[in-house]
Structure 1
Amino acid sequence: MMNEGASAPSFTLPGLRDGEQTEYSLDETTADDRAALLVFYPFDFSPVCTNELCAIRDAEWFQLTPALDVWAISGDSVYAHRAFAEEYGLNFPLLSDSSGRVAESYDVCYDEWENHERVPQRAVFLIDSEQTIRYAWATEDALEKPDFFPVKDALETLEAERDEPGPEDVELAVEYNEEPEPLT
């Protein structure tokens, strides 16, 4: 597994969001000053994977975090992803690493699991806009689910370092603005 502080390997993968297929590039995302949360999982529709991805879907703080892209990555095709996303209302991109190349570059790829070759292990990586891994977790036990509270803590640390104003900061800025600029 890649460790925190390491440089995240670049990749581009086909993926699906809202029924539309497109390519997702880590380089492009980080160039836009965005962070990425990569969630590797073995298979669409498997019980543990379904539970894990639905938990991400239901965790509002993922969707309410500015400058964060959440990508789930498995070896399944975009066609399987389409059915999986529709069935469970998944509102984030599902990427297809059908060759296992990306999982292997992050050192989270089974050689063989349940008679399938090159399957991603369950793993989570938070990658900042400099493509540095800020949080890393992986397991060889495909039935073990990640704890997302440490991910949230790492994300809060990353946001604090970015020094982006939060909603409370914006309210204070508006409240203390004595001479507002006219709208043109």
Structure 2
Amino acid sequence: MGDADGLDVGETAPDFTAELVDPDGTVREASLSELVDEKPVLLTFYTVDFSPDCIEEWCSFRDFDWFAASEDVQVVGVSKSRPYLHKRFISYLDLNFPLFSDPDLDVAEKFEVSYKAFHLFSRSRRSCFLVDGDRTVQYRWLGEHWLDPTRDTPPVGEIHEALVDILDGGGDEDPDDGFSGAFA
């Protein structure tokens, strides 16, 4: 799976513009740089809406209150599902997270997480990237399943702990770090 090794921590995340479905069902063109201007983004790649493991993943993020109500980070999904399916998925699971539509896996390719499952089916590797206001990758998690990395579900508890450590910065409050004020 060498073609899906993902961006490394410290690398600059590529900017992109794609259709984004907001939790209220609004579909709009949005860019990553717009979103990170508001607050850091945990960009979460998954396979497709309504697959059982993706339902489990998004229910985990929804049910882990910190992700659903955090003032410090915005969780944003990315999958190859189209906007009309994202609307149904958001409504069905009552999600408070926007979802990017990446039908051709262009965004997944930019983040180096696209691959061909069984050398046949194009997919994005289940992965998470914390991107700050400078579009620097501050954290990453990559699915490691030996056969199909779309089967791994992000460990939201571990991700939460890592993000709290990063966002808190051990008390460092550099106003230019993209995380100023977090947990202050």
Global fold match (TM > 0.5):
yes
How many pairs were matched up? 165
Q: Deviations over 1:25-81 (max 9, x none)?
A: 11112234x100011000100000010011111111113322422111100100111
Q: Deviations over 1:96-120 (max 9, x none)?
A: 0111011011111123469543x21
Instruction: For 1:48, give the aligned amino acid.
Output: D
Contact 2:124 2:150 in 1 (8 A): no
| Residue of structure 2 in register with 1:24 after alignment | 30
TM-score in terms of structure 2 length: 0.81
Task: Name the Cα RMSD after superposition.
Answer: 2.0
Q: Distance in 2 between matches of 1:152 and 1:66?
A: 13
More strand by share: 1
Identity %: 32
Q: Distance in 1 between matches of 2:15 and 2:40?
A: 13
| Residue of structure 2 in register with 1:181 after alignment | none
| Residue of structure 2 in register with 1:153 after alignment | 161
Give, in angstroms, the shift of residue 148 of structure 1: 2.0
Q: Distance in 2 between matches of 1:14 and 1:150?
A: 29
Q: Distance in 1 between matches of 2:109 and 2:126?
A: 12
Q: Distance in 1 between matches of 2:19 and 2:111?
A: 17
Q: What secondary structure, in the 3-state scheme, does the structure 1 residue paired with 2:133 have?
A: coil
Q: What secondary structure, in the 3-state scheme, does the structure 2 residue paired with 1:153 have?
A: helix
Residues 154, 129 of structure 1: CA spacing in aligned structure 2 closer, same or farther, 3 A cutoff? farther
Q: Distance in 1 between matches of 2:120 and 2:131?
A: 31
TM-score in terms of structure 1 length: 0.81
Written as runs of structure 1 = structure 2, the 5 A alignment for 1:1-184 is 1-17=6-22, 18-32=24-38, 34-112=39-117, 116-117=121-122, 119-139=123-143, 140-161=148-169, 162-164=179-181, 166=183
Residues 82, 64 of structure 1: CA spacing in aligned structure 2 closer, same or farther, 3 A cutoff? closer
Structure ID, larger Rg: 1
Give, in angstroms, the shift of residue 149 of structure 1: 2.6
